[in-house]
């Protein structure tokens, strides 16, 4: 249960980070706190859009869905259900793959590091590991 709670908290944190990046991209918050200048480079690069959609907006939507599913997984009606955890694992697994692709672009194509994007990558990786742990726990949990 604690892993589901941690997943919800991480999804909320990721949601705020991606919202921050999206607000910067659409010009609502002026400058971005980054320290290296890499955030601006990455956010203003052509690679900051994926199939015509802002990557930050994909992050907002992705983390919002993960948060929603994590809250469902925590709901007393679904505590004993396995499907919310399966869904979380599938979504976060896909997000990890997408993040790996974005990291490749950051390191080898744009050649700039966005610290907020790195923070998001760390969050989604931990979130995925936690859902896998939770998945294994629900598989082996004795029926009550």
Task: Report the candidate in 51, 50, 27 with the shortest Cα–Cα distance to residue 40.
Answer: 27
Interactions with other proteins, residue window 3-22 (CB under 8 A): 5, 8-9, 12-13, 15-16, 19-20
Comparing CB distances to other proteins, the nearer of 14 and 55 is 14
Binding mask 103-132 for other proteins (x = CB under 8 A): ------------------------------
Distance CA 45, CA 96 (A): 21
**Rounded Cα distance, 138 and 14, in Å:** 25
Helix axes 115-140, 83-104, angle to 10 degrees: 150
Collapsing DSSP to helix, strand or coil, 49 comes out as strand
Per-position x/- string for 69-88, each x denoting binding to other proteins as judged by CB under 8 A, each - no binding: -----x-xxxxxxx------
Structure tokens at 117: 């994007």
Binding site for other proteins (CB under 8 A): 1-2, 5, 8-9, 12-13, 15-16, 19-20, 23, 28-31, 74, 76-82, 138-144
């Amino acid at each position: 249960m604690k892993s589901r709670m941690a997943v919800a908290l991480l999804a909320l944190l990721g949601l705020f980070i991606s919202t921050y990046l999206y607000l910067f991209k659409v010009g609502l918050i002026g400058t971005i706190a980054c320290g290296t200048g890499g955030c601006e480079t990455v956010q203003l690069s052509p690679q900051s859009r994926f199939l015509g959609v802002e990557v930050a907006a994909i992050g907002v939507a992705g983390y919002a869905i993960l948060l929603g599913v994590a809250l469902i997984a925590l709901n007393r009606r679904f505590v004993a259900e396995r499907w919310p955890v399966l869904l979380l694992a599938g979504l976060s697994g896909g997000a990890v793959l997408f993040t790996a692709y974005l990291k490749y672009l950051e390191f080898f194509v744009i050649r700039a590091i966005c610290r907020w994007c790195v923070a998001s990558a760390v969050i989604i990786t931990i979130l995925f590991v936690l859902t896998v742990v939770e998945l294994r726990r629900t598989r082996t949990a004795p029926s009550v």
